[in-house]
Amino acid sequence: MKRAIAGVVPREVAEVPVMTVWPSIAAYPSGRFLGTLYNWRGGTYIFRLGNLLALASIPHALALYFYRILPYVGTRYTLTNRRVVVQRGLMAMDDKSVDLDRFDRIEIQVQLGQEWFQAGDLVFFQENTETFRLDGVSRPEAFRQVCIKSHEAYVGLANVLQQQVV
């Protein structure tokens, strides 16, 4: 299929991924607990208590890291030209999703322990009702901005097409 702009496909033709992110280990309660431990500031210079705990917990942190990408457990968040999807497993089977016109704002909520990992939860709202949540998104502001821009393009195009019909 020839496209005027590489990667751009009309939403009626096909659903194509725009961006995919993997959740941080801060998505899990155990990971958030590690994040709170690593934030401890007692001590001096590199010998801070949090840094020493980080060294001591390397095996546990590695286990969490590899757990999040296991074949039947692995979760990823994919933004497409139609929706935001939570996909699980090796074959990226859709678990849950929200259409791009089913929210009007996205907030970032950083839980205790997520700040050390530079992660947060993306919460999608329709007016004042929470419609969707992505847990432990690594560097959530970048993904939030892409979701907002895709939402604006999707809703804007829908409005233009609706006005043409009338």
Per-residue pLDDT averaged across 93-119, rounded?
94
Poorest-confidence range of 7-11, 110-114, 147-151, 153-157?
7-11
pTM score, two decimals?
A: 0.83
Residues 27 and 68: beta-carbon distance below 8 Å: yes
105-137: b (≥16 Cβ within 10 Å) or e: ebeeeebebbbbbebbbbbbeeeeeeebebbbb
Instruction: For 124-138, write each residue's pLDDT tens digit.
Output: 999 999 999 999 999
Instruction: For 20-57, write each residue's pLDDT tens digit.
Output: 999 999 999 999 999 998 988 777 777 788 888 888 99
| Predicted confidence (pLDDT) at residue 5 exceeds the cutoff of 60 | no
Scan for tokens 């019909």, then name that residue: 165
DSSP string for 31-82: HHHHHHHHT---SSTT--HHHHHHHHTHHHHHHHHHHTTSTTT-EEEEEESS
- 3-state class (DSSP) for residue 142: helix
